[in-house]
Amino acid sequence: MTTATASTATPVRTYRDYDRPLWQRLLLTREMAIVGLLVIVAVVASVSVRGFGQPITLTYLILDVTPILLIALPMTLIMITGEIDLSVASVVGLSSVLIGVLTQAGAPFELAIVVALVAGAIAGAVNGFLVTVVGLPSLAVTIGTLALYRGLAVGLLGTTAVTDFPEFWTDLAKMKLGGSNVPAVLLLFLVLLVVFVVLLHFTPFGRGIYAIGLSKTAARFSGVHVERTKLVLFVLSGTIAALAGVYYTLRFGSARGDNATGLELQVIAAVVLGGVSVFGGRGAIHGVIAGVLLIGILASALRLANVTSDVINIITGVLLVASVVSNSFLAWLRTKRRAPGGTARAKASAAG
Amino acid sequence: MQTDTPQTPAPPMLELSRVVKSFGPVVALRSGSLQLDSGSIHALVGENGAGKSTLVKIVAGLYRRDAGEFRLRGEDVDFTSTAQSKAAGIAVIYQEPTLFPDLTVTENIFMGRQPVNRFGRIDRKAMRREAEELFQRLGVRIDPERPAEGLSIADQQVIEIAKAVSLDARVLIMDEPTAALSGVEVDRLFAVARSLRDEGRALLFISHRFDEIFALCDTVTVMRDGAYVATTPIAETTVDEMVRQMVGRDVTELFPKTEAEIGEPLLEVEGLTRTGVFHDITFSVRSGEIVGLAGLVGAGRSEVARAVFGVDPYESGSVRLGGRTLPRNRPDRAISAGIALVPEDRRKEGLVLESSVARNLSLVIRNQLAKAGIITNGAENRAARVWASRLEVKTNALSTVAGTLSGGNQQKVVLGKWLATEPTVLIIDEPTRGIDVGTKAEVHRLLSELAGKGMGILMISSELPEVLGMADRVLVMREGRITAEIDRSDATSENVMFAATHAAAQTPGAHS
């Protein structure tokens, strides 16, 4: 605490920008802890798991995690405002089915993609409308639309699957960059990554997102468009989920009503693991990317090591719980350190 | 059940003398004294911040006193919890009781101490019978089996009183119980209070309404600035005398008000109405002018400010700034037009507490700080440094979390974030609530200086000295309406307080 220095007599107070040096601010963060863990797991896996180091593994890893990476971008922003979107996997399914139905009916594939994306945007707008205008909690709204959109998807196509897609498009989804083993779809993700990093970390809109998550009331009193911001984010989330649906359909060459069932939980798990607070206000995109990759690499390496999927689930689950617990633990440590040490110690000794 | 109290020269039921309570550097109670006798209704009056609630909270066991004496039936007591206070026979009935809405009236009365039959099960019949007896004793008719949900505030209070009586509380404290009641409900509450007095209980009645005090109470204690002023039998005092005791002090010296040139009207509010909250509010704030908005807590002042700024809705009326009408419900438009609002609750409304000083100072101007849509930490820090140093915020780094600053420094950050928008009209709600004396003077000096530069300031304050010391013109609100507009030269504690409290101006002879 600054002691009572004569406030008016002191000439001009100087302020440092930060109370910690740069390296601490960069490295001693929750996000970097996940990045570090990711590096360790990747190194250990490539050394000890046979076949993990092969280029083909990397190819499949990227192809597999791409939908999660894509959806995690808007999900991060939504969760930082303190909301959640559980309907994303159903939107993936709906988008996939729309493409299937339209292709089956002979519509050009480009049109099918546009319709799917617009449908995703509308699905997101419905979520956003119910959350911001009607004022319902997003958890309840998106559990509802999770069922609704999935129902629509299955209803439209029944239990059949459409598998006949233009070869140009299915090849595009699996195309590799140059002669390398890196799938071209990574480029799509990188473009969106840059957009979302700028949006969240370098625009006034992004500053508003954090303010909303930390204190909705104070944000509103500061002229932040709380409702409009959330509506935009839900529309973005629906649109990106639909885009992931397009990719999903092409990657597996199959449009089905039950495509990507349960994917929302993988996305949310990765976002939370990446350091986004479930209460809103905290998190950064690099942490989330590391979270997605960590879960992806872990699962892929364990699968190669012939670990059964139940055990993989258990390990991911433990990791997730540990990350949430460590978050609360660190927060508790911080408040302890911040509280005037005297009183904390006095209380402890009085109790003893 | 407890039986009769010792007869003859009995010590007072409850006695507090020279009680002191401070919170950090802020002294809430300098010397509080109060004496309650059984079979008597005692009134406690004073301005907002006079220390009434602190005193009540000490009696209720919510706070522990730092010094002074506290005796119950002549014995020294020292409550460390509300449970101890309850067990000693003290019950506090708050303005808005908190009942369990889904439980029945009976269940609410006996919450946590339900009578049980010999099988260890709750004896519903006995419970209901007892509730009926209680209501009969109090002379009220409430169905004991109905759920608490949907009961009027008056009925909820009666249930709290019934609970207190069933616990055989000897001391009942009612903290502004009539604030939300209609005339008939007030009459019924008073009938209940009188029957409790006649049973030999001691009652304390806190109210701002003089007509009610004169109608109900036997004695009155006046407090001012955290200290006891006087206790008088009600028959021996008058409204004027009580007002004088409540405010009597020299008020001008603390406030460095400098004369500013008053210019054109900037903010013009006309006929602003929100049913049940405020009605037909018309006023203007001119350039260089500090307009004080006085009144009691709950008179609707903050609500008016929030509606003008656009964070609260209103039904009719208009808000104009520099001749241009502002749209409703659009704080962003109000901000870009040049209005700033330093809100009442700085921890909830004013600051993003968990965010840094820099982010808080730059939040409102984030759009201006962005270049080609891109905002950086560097730009934010530069802007924040300007305002942190101009207002002398006491912190080492701009990255300090705002919530860790002291109240006064938090208020400076709120002021800074709004002054950064270069407003033409500043609305400031309770500018110095809960901040230390030194910072208080700094804030007052700053307000004077801003007015001197041509800013129009609307200052809401519950502290009369602050209003009288700072304002060029005083508007007084009572129960959602502006009841007086008084020029600086004519404003006195008495006439402001009178306009803020007195219903007699509209209903002559209310107290007989």
pLDDT at B387 over 80: yes
The dihedral sign for the CA sequence B34, B40, B46, B48: positive
In a domain, A132, yes or no: yes
Residue B327: predicted pLDDT: 95
Residue A10: predicted pLDDT: 44
Residue B166: predicted pLDDT: 86
Q: What is the CATH number of the domain that holds A187?
A: 1.10.3470
For A18, the closest of B385, B399, B438 (CB atoms) is B399
In a domain, A265, yes or no: yes
* Interface contact B385-A281, CB threshold 8 A: no
Element (H, E) at B448: helix B437-452
User: Any chain B CB within 8 A of the CB of A349?
Assistant: no
* Interface contact B375-A217, CB threshold 8 A: no
* Interface contact B370-A221, CB threshold 8 A: no
Q: How far B354 CA lies from chain A's nearest CA (Å)?
A: 7
Residue B394: predicted pLDDT: 85
State the pLDDT confidence band at A327, using cuts at 50, 70 and 90.
confident
User: Any chain B CB within 8 A of the CB of A20?
Assistant: yes
* Interface contact B311-A220, CB threshold 8 A: yes
Q: Write out chain A residues lying below 8 Å of B382, CB-based.
A: none
State the pLDDT confidence band at B503, using cuts at 50, 70 and 90.
low
Residue B405: predicted pLDDT: 84
Task: Give A296-325 pLDDT, tens digit per residue.
Answer: 999 999 999 999 989 988 988 898 888 878
Q: Write out chain A residues lying below 8 Å of B388, CB-based.
A: 13, 15
DSSP B12: P
Chain B: residue nearest A211 by CA? B352
Residue B507: predicted pLDDT: 38
Q: What is the mean pLDDT of residues B376-385?
A: 94
* Interface contact A218-B369, CB threshold 8 A: no
pLDDT at B47 over 80: no
User: Any chain A CB within 8 A of the CB of B410?
Assistant: no
Task: Give A33-44 pLDDT, tens digit per residue.
Answer: 899 999 999 999
* Interface contact A215-B351, CB threshold 8 A: yes
Contacts of A156 (CB under 8 A, 6+ apart): A97, A98, A101, A257
Task: Give A180-206 pLDDT, tens digit per residue.
Answer: 888 889 999 999 999 999 999 999 999
Residue A343: predicted pLDDT: 36
Residue A15: predicted pLDDT: 86
Q: What is the mean pLDDT of residues B204-211?
A: 85
Q: How far B247 CA lies from chain A's nearest CA (Å)?
A: 31
Q: How far A199 CA lies from chain B's nearest CA (Å)?
A: 9
User: Which of B341, B352, B417 to mutate against chain A (most A CBs within 10 Å)?
Assistant: B352
User: Any chain B CB within 8 A of the CB of A303?
Assistant: no
Q: What is the mean pLDDT of residues A247-251?
A: 94
Residue B254: predicted pLDDT: 56
Q: What is the mean pLDDT of residues A252-261?
A: 91
Task: Give A57-73 pLDDT, tens digit per residue.
Answer: 888 999 999 999 999 99
Q: How far A79 CA lies from chain B's nearest CA (Å)?
A: 17
Q: Write out chain B residues lying below 8 Å of A213, CB-based.
A: none
State the pLDDT confidence band at B381, using cuts at 50, 70 and 90.
very high
Burial B81-91 (b: 16+ CB within 10 A, else e): eeeebbebbbb
Residue B512: predicted pLDDT: 34
Name the amino acid, one letter, at B102: D
Determine the CATH number of domain B14-99+151-247: 3.40.50.300
Tell me the whole-structure pTM to 2 decimals: 0.77
Q: What are phi and psi of B371, to 5 degrees?
A: -110, 120
Residue A72, CB-side half-sphere exposure with 13 Å CA sphere: 33
Q: What is the mean pLDDT of residues A267-290?
A: 93
Is B154 or B510 the better-scoring residue by pLDDT?
B154
Q: Which of residues 420-479 of B touch A (CB under 8 A)?
A: 438-439, 442
Task: Give B237-256 pLDDT, tens digit per residue.
Answer: 988 888 888 876 544 445 66
Q: How far A223 CA lies from chain B's nearest CA (Å)?
A: 4
State the pLDDT confidence band at B234, using cuts at 50, 70 and 90.
very high
For A218, the closest of B351, B369, B401 (CB atoms) is B351
Chain A: residue nearest B330 by CA? A223
Distance of CA B21 to the CA centre of its chain: 18
pLDDT at A294 over 90: yes
Q: Which of residues 143-202 of A touch B (CB under 8 A)?
A: 198, 202
Is B142 or B249 the better-scoring residue by pLDDT?
B142
Residue B395: predicted pLDDT: 85
- Please report the number of interchain residue pairs, chain A to chain B, with beta-carbon separation below 8 angstroms: 111
Q: Please write down the long-range contacts of B467-471, taking CB distance under 8 Å and 24 or more positions apart.
A: B467/B292, B467/B294, B467/B491, B467/B496, B468/B251, B468/B252, B468/B292, B468/B492, B468/B493, B468/B496, B469/B251, B469/B252, B469/B254, B469/B255, B469/B257, B469/B444, B470/B255, B470/B257, B470/B290, B470/B292, B470/B444, B471/B290, B471/B291, B471/B292
Nearest to A207 by CA among B89, B383, B201: B383
User: Cβ of A14: how many Cβ atoms within 10 Å?
Assistant: 9
For B375, the closest of A207, A220, A338 (CB atoms) is A207
User: Any chain B CB within 8 A of the CB of A216?
Assistant: no
User: Cβ of B483: how many Cβ atoms within 10 Å?
Assistant: 20
- Same fold for the domain at B14-99+151-247 and the one at B251-338+423-512? yes
State the pLDDT confidence band at A350, using cuts at 50, 70 and 90.
very low
Name the amino acid, one letter, at B251: V
Distance of CA A282 to the CA centre of its chain: 13
Contacts of B251 (CB under 8 A, 6+ apart): B464, B465, B468, B469, B493
Is B114 or A98 the better-scoring residue by pLDDT?
A98
Residue boundaries of the structural domains of chain B: 14-99+151-247, 251-338+423-512, 356-417
State the pLDDT confidence band at A251, using cuts at 50, 70 and 90.
very high
pLDDT at A123 over 90: yes
Q: Write out chain A residues lying below 8 Å of B413, CB-based.
A: none
For A217, the closest of B348, B374, B381 (CB atoms) is B348
For A203, the closest of B331, B348, B375 (CB atoms) is B375
User: Any chain A CB within 8 A of the CB of B376?
Assistant: yes
In a domain, A9, yes or no: no
For helices A185-201 and A204-214, the axis angle rounded to 10 degrees is: 70
Q: Note down the domain range covering A214.
A: 29-328
Grouping H, G, I as helix, E, B as strand and the rest as coil, residue B410 is helix
User: Which of A3, A8, A17 to mutate against chain B (most B CBs within 10 Å)?
Assistant: A17
Residue B435: predicted pLDDT: 72
State the pLDDT confidence band at B396, using cuts at 50, 70 and 90.
confident
User: Any chain A CB within 8 A of the CB of B350?
Assistant: yes
Is A88 or B479 the better-scoring residue by pLDDT?
A88
Q: Write out chain B residues lying below 8 Å of A214, CB-based.
A: 352-355
pLDDT at B312 over 80: yes
Q: Write out chain B residues lying below 8 Å of A281, CB-based.
A: 354
Q: Write out chain A residues lying below 8 Å of B359, CB-based.
A: 207, 210-211
* Fold (CATH) for B251-338+423-512: Rossmann fold (3.40.50)
Q: Please write down the long-range contacts of A263-267, taking CB distance under 8 Å and 24 or more positions apart.
A: A263/A67, A263/A68, A263/A71, A263/A88, A263/A89, A263/A92, A264/A71, A264/A85, A264/A86, A264/A87, A264/A88, A264/A89, A264/A90, A264/A146, A266/A68, A266/A295, A267/A68, A267/A71, A267/A72, A267/A75, A267/A88, A267/A89, A267/A292
Residue A182: predicted pLDDT: 85
pLDDT at A162 over 70: yes
% chain B with pLDDT above 90:
48
User: Any chain A CB within 8 A of the CB of B332?
Assistant: yes
Q: What is the mean pLDDT of residues B182-198?
A: 85
pLDDT at B103 over 80: yes
Map chain A to HEC letters.
CCCCCCCCCCCCCCCECCCCCHHHHHHCCHHHHHHHHHHHHHHHHHHHCCCCCCHHHHHHHHHHHHHHHHHHHHHHHHHHCCCCCCCHHHHHHHHHHHHHHHHHCCCCHHHHHHHHHHHHHHHHHHHHHHHHHCCCCHHHHHHHHHHHHHHHHHHHHCCCCECCCCHHHHHHHHCECCCCCCECHHHHHHHHHHHHHHHHHCCHHHHHHHHHHHCHHHHHHCCCCHHHHHHHHHHHHHHHHHHHHHHHHHHHCCECCCCCCCHHHHHHHHHHHCCCCCCCCCCCHHHHHHHHHHHHHHHHHHHHCCCCHHHHHHHHHHHHHHHHHHHHHHHHHHHHHHCCHHHHHHHHHHHC
Structural tokens at position A47: 């050394």
Is B160 or A288 the better-scoring residue by pLDDT?
A288
Contact status, residue B344 vs residue B432, Cβ threshold 8 Å: no
Q: How far A308 CA lies from chain B's nearest CA (Å)?
A: 43
pLDDT at B202 over 80: yes
User: Any chain A CB within 8 A of the CB of B392?
Assistant: yes
For B331, the closest of A14, A208, A223 (CB atoms) is A223
State the pLDDT confidence band at B8, using cuts at 50, 70 and 90.
low
Residue B508: predicted pLDDT: 37
Considering A91-100, B201-210, B218-227, the range whose residues carry the highest mean pLDDT is A91-100
Beta bridge partners of B473: B291, B487
Contacts of B395 (CB under 8 A, 6+ apart): A2, A15, B357, B388, B405, B409
pLDDT at A170 over 60: yes
Task: Give B441-450 pLDDT, tens digit per residue.
Answer: 788 989 999 9
Task: Give B32-46 pLDDT, tens digit per residue.
Answer: 999 999 999 999 988
In a domain, A278, yes or no: yes
Q: What is the mean pLDDT of residues A49-57?
A: 86
Q: What is the mean pLDDT of residues A22-26?
A: 84
